[in-house]
Amino acid sequence: MAASREDRVIYLDNAATTPCDPRVVEAMLPYFTEHFGNTGSRNHRYGWEAEAAVDTAREQVAALLGADEKEIIFTSGATESNNLAIKGVAYMYEKAPAGSGACRGHIITTSIEHKAVLDPCKRLQKEGFEVTFLDPPADGVFTAAMVEAAIRPDTILVSMMWANNEIGTINEVPQIGALCHARDIIFHTDATQWAGKMPVDVERDCIDLLSLSGHKLYGPKGIGALYVRRRKPRVRLQALVDGGGQERGYRSGTLNVTGIVGLGKAAALAKAEMDAEGQRLLALRKRLESMVTSQLDHCAVNGHADKRLPHIANISFGFVEGESLMMACKELAVSSGSACTSASLEPSYVLKGLGVGDELAHSSLRLSMGRFTKDSDIDAAVASIVKAVRKLRELSPLYDMHNEGIDLSKVEWGHH
């Protein structure tokens, strides 16, 4: 059944996931059927074909990062890469054995990481490691000085996302990497929103471990990679999955050949098209932000003005209720500042961390553009948001009171 024009939903949620590039799908297809071999089959053609395809993909991912292909471990995605990096380092470099009562080692991360970093860190905390969760400044950007102030003699690992998935802010990763290298501390970065969009050179940027994910860069879901530095220093990890010893023993299990081929192709396309695509996305984002803020009062773009990814805009709208805003923008596929955690609707911990109040956090939208976003999508999205916000404000007694000059912070609300 053909979707009617009214049913068309504009996809502006590329930070949540991207569609597969058709060129990626095309590269993958033969590996489901004709070339279906297991890379572990060392004595026949099917195995060799699969292995050759994986080798090529490994080179493509390594090239995106300025790494050596031996330094790439394929995983099921960034969640697994983060777990392997963080727990793998913690268990390998611990300063005291489990159960000894002594601190097993100190880890520095931030309070606005993705859950795939926060939760492994919280688990390690329960297991006897000490973790410092740095709180962000109001602009969301973590500097090397902030990390330096938290370093202790027993710090074994710093894990800092390169760019934030909700607000797009960019941290001082190369400077933090250099700081860690000077202190012999291992440095991991969750580069899931960065890799494939912005340049990486693991040597220049002093990175020891880097996580990325296929489905955030126009590749398939369920495939990712972890870069593991092999020299200066040689980083060792304790494996989390035991078995056939694939991926240099770091990640046992039959390789996801189709997914790996797709990730490789996606990495090669990202590298080739990064400059042009980055410029186009930045122009789209700036246009969206300036159109929205010039047509509506009481809205704020969250995060640092410039140190932000080209493709993520996060905007808070005053005097509208978050859920109503989402309902009113049904023709847009975007993320809201409310995270649906189990039963309750919690305001985003990232926006809260920046000091955005609960109300404003709820009435925030993350709009993330991608390779297939057109100018006309931005125009339509802005028109829809402006219309929705104006309509909701017409119904808002608070907005009326504010416009009549009443200072809402001084109003005595009835207590129940």
Ligand X SMILES: *Cc1c(COP(=O)(O)O)cnc(C)c1O
Catalytic residues: 340
Question: Which residue, 114 or 362, has its beta carbon nearer to ligand X?
Answer: 114
Among 39, 213, 258, 364, binds ligand X (CB under 6 A): 213
Question: Which residue, 262 or 318, has its beta carbon nearer to ligand X?
Answer: 262
Task: Select the residue whose beta carbon is closest to ligand X and give its number.
Answer: 77
CB of 99 to ligand X, least distance (A): 31
Residue written as token pair 């009113």: 328
CB of 117 to ligand X, least distance (A): 7
Cis upstream peptide for 233 (omega within 30°): yes
Among 62, 116, 237, 367, binds ligand X (CB under 6 A): 116
Give 355's contacts (C-beta < 8 A, 6+ positions apart). 138
Interaction between residue 165 and ligand X (CB under 6 A) = yes
Interaction between residue 350 and ligand X (CB under 6 A) = no
Question: Which residue, 159 or 364, has its beta carbon nearer to ligand X?
Answer: 159
Between CA 262 and CA 339 the distance in angstroms is: 30
CB of 116 to ligand X, least distance (A): 4
Q: Which of residues 134-163 bind ligand X (CB under 6 A)?
A: 161
CB of 359 to ligand X, least distance (A): 25
Interface stretch with ligand X, choices 75-83, 272-280, 366-374, 395-403 (CB under 6 A): 75-83
Interface stretch with ligand X, choices 187-195, 245-253, 254-262, 367-375 (CB under 6 A): 187-195
User: Dihedrals φ, ψ of 345, to 5°?
Assistant: -100, 100
Interaction between residue 224 and ligand X (CB under 6 A) = yes
Question: Which residue, 291 or 339, has its beta carbon nearer to ligand X?
Answer: 339
CB of 184 to ligand X, least distance (A): 26
Among 54, 78, 167, 210, binds ligand X (CB under 6 A): 78
Give 150's contacts (C-beta < 8 A, 6+ positions apart). 108, 132, 134
Question: Which residue, 58 or 114, has its beta carbon nearer to ligand X?
Answer: 114
Between CA 329 and CA 286 the distance in angstroms is: 20
Dihedral angle computed from the Cα positions of residues 322, 326, 329 and 332, in that order, rounded to the nearest 10 degrees:
130
Interface stretch with ligand X, choices 73-81, 143-151, 225-233, 379-387 (CB under 6 A): 73-81
Among 190, 205, 208, 377, binds ligand X (CB under 6 A): 190
User: Dihedrals φ, ψ of 20, to 5°?
Assistant: -70, 135
Among 114, 188, 251, 362, binds ligand X (CB under 6 A): 114
Interaction between residue 195 and ligand X (CB under 6 A) = no
Interaction between residue 79 and ligand X (CB under 6 A) = yes
How far is C-alpha 241 from the chain's CA centre?
A: 24
Interface stretch with ligand X, choices 5-13, 31-39, 189-197, 401-409 (CB under 6 A): 189-197
CB of 376 to ligand X, least distance (A): 27
Q: x/- site string to ligand X, residues 14 to 33, per CB under 6 A?
A: --------------------
Question: Which residue, 11 or 399, has its beta carbon nearer to ligand X?
Answer: 11
Radius of gyration of the chain from its Cα atoms, rounded to whole angstroms: 23
CB of 193 to ligand X, least distance (A): 5
Q: x/- site string to ligand X, residues 270 to 299, per CB under 6 A?
A: ------------------------------
Among 60, 109, 132, 192, binds ligand X (CB under 6 A): 192
User: Dihedrals φ, ψ of 398, to 5°?
Assistant: -65, -40
Question: Which residue, 78 or 176, has its beta carbon nearer to ligand X?
Answer: 78
Distance spanning both ends of the chain, measured CA to CA? 52
Binding-site ranges for ligand X (CB under 6 A): 77-79, 114, 116, 161, 165, 190, 192-193, 213, 216, 224
